[in-house]
Amino acid sequence: MSHPTPDVYEQGKGMDAHNQVMREIRSRKEASYDPHEPTRVWLDEDNTPDGVKRSLTIILNTGGCRWARAGGCTMCGYVAESVDGGSVSHEALMDQIDVCLAHEAENGDEPADLIKIYTSGSFLDEREVGAESRKAIADTFADRERMVVESLPDFVDREKIADFIRHGVDTDVAIGLETATDRVRHDCVNKYFDFADFEDACAEAAAADAEAGGDADAGIKAYLLMKPPFLTESEAVADMIASVERCAGVEGCHTVSMNPCNVQRYTMVDDLYFEDGYRPPWLWSVAHVLRETVDVDAIVVSDPVGHGSDRGPHNCGECDDLVQKAIKDFDLRQDPSVFEQVSCECERTWEVVMERERSFNQPLTH
């Protein structure tokens, strides 16, 4: 029997096919942004291993994710090239940081303890944020308690994390793992790396933590995607429970943030949604996973974006705000009894969906 070579497999199939479709979808969007302005900045509160902290969240505009340029993940609406030329200078990045500091000074009573920096890509990728900018940003926030920076696992290494922890700032790297199941990550999300790469990144964080010798902590925050396309509600729930458990079992990973998929424009999920091929997860599913994984050795949180809308995670429309509030309470207190106080008739519908939804196609004739 002959076996196809990897090249043959790649052409027009699997990831290559997903990437072709995603490139076509993304090319429908034409946008360019000012490289001196961050994409977004806001103040909030977050649960950390040291308790609930006031946080400043920054989305830096860095030219976008390399993987998105190749096609990228099926649910991700981040622009492939968010600035003309595809990269942002050190000076422009520092201007963005100044805008964020001004926003904080204007809207907060005092400096936030926790700084979270996302880039619609990888903060630790030196093609997005060079070493000079990374070190300057670490210096800027040297007086804070904790930093979170986002990165794909390939770019995580102990020296880069050391730029932050040598200031005595606890540092977490947020990794968009999406799921612990390689098959689902590759085929449903179209994300290229393996769980083993995530484990390697956790080991780098654990090494940085050990080298810091108690002056500061380093760890990994895993971001999971609840209900990528092509899974039924019950498959998505089972995949999330298994994923939370596997992540919590990896040394160096102390927090799991499970985020329900929402339908972003210019994505494959968006195309499927318009063809009635995708529904974002039920909020009951989110609550169910949080309840089922309450005993794992990690903080487990969820932040349903766009809850209650058709394009976001939702229940029946009547109970969405209540369930969302219970999820937010759970994030801060990690107490599953918050879900006992919410109920709605639509929970029965969700149970039927969990039991009967099938992902394979139904033949129209016999």
Q: Which residues bind ligand SF4 (CB under 6 A)?
A: 65, 67-68, 72-73, 76, 78, 120-121, 152, 176, 191
Closest CA to 288 of 332, 248, 228, 330: 330
Assign 102 to helix, strand or coil.
helix
Q: Is 322 one of the binding residues for Zn ion (CB under 5 A)? A: no
Rounded least distance, CB 57 to Zn ion, Å: 30
Rounded least distance, CB 152 to ligand SF4, Å: 6
With contact defined as beta carbons under 8 Å apart, do 266 and 76 qualify?
A: no
If contact means CB under 5 to 8 A according to the sort of partner, which of Zn ion, ligand SF4, none does residue 285 touch? none
In whole angstroms, give the CA distance from residue 224 to residue 86.
27
Binding segment (CB under 5 A) for Zn ion, from list 47-55, 139-147, 289-297, 314-322: 314-322
Spatial strand order in the sheet of 253-260? 40-48, 51-59, 114-118, 146-150, 170-178, 218-226, 253-260, 299-301
Rounded least distance, CB 322 to Zn ion, Å: 8
Query: Identity (one letter) of the amino acid at 154?
Result: D
Nearer to Zn ion by C-beta: 326 or 344?
344
Binding segment (CB under 5 A) for Zn ion, from list 71-79, 131-139, 235-243, 308-316: 308-316
If contact means CB under 5 to 8 A according to the sort of partner, which of ligand SF4, Zn ion, none does residue 259 touch? none
- DSSP letter string over 139-158? HHTTTSSEEEEE--GGG--H
* Structure tokens given for 334: 């990690």
Q: Which of 203, 316, 322, 332 touches Zn ion by CB under 5 A?
A: 316
In whole angstroms, give the CA distance from residue 331 to residue 207.
28
Q: Which of 319, 327, 342, 354 touches Zn ion by CB under 5 A?
A: 319
If contact means CB under 5 to 8 A according to the sort of partner, which of Zn ion, ligand SF4, none does residue 258 touch? none
Those residues whose C-beta lies under 8 Å from the C-beta of residue 221, and which sit 6 or more positions away, are 148, 172, 173, 174, 175, 253, 254, 255, 256, 257
Rounded least distance, CB 305 to ligand SF4, Å: 14
Rounded least distance, CB 120 to ligand SF4, Å: 5
- Interaction mask 323-352, Zn ion, x per CB under 5 A: ---------------------x-x------
**Number of C-beta neighbours around residue 275 at 10 A:** 7
Binding segment (CB under 5 A) for Zn ion, from list 142-150, 158-166, 260-268, 318-326: 318-326
200-215 in b/e form (b: 16+ CB < 10 A) is ebbbbbbbbbeebeee
* Structure tokens given for 90: 């050190």
Nearer to ligand SF4 by C-beta: 78 or 330?
78
Rounded least distance, CB 214 to ligand SF4, Å: 33
- Residues lying near Zn ion in the complex (CB under 5 A) are found at 315-316, 318-319, 344, 346
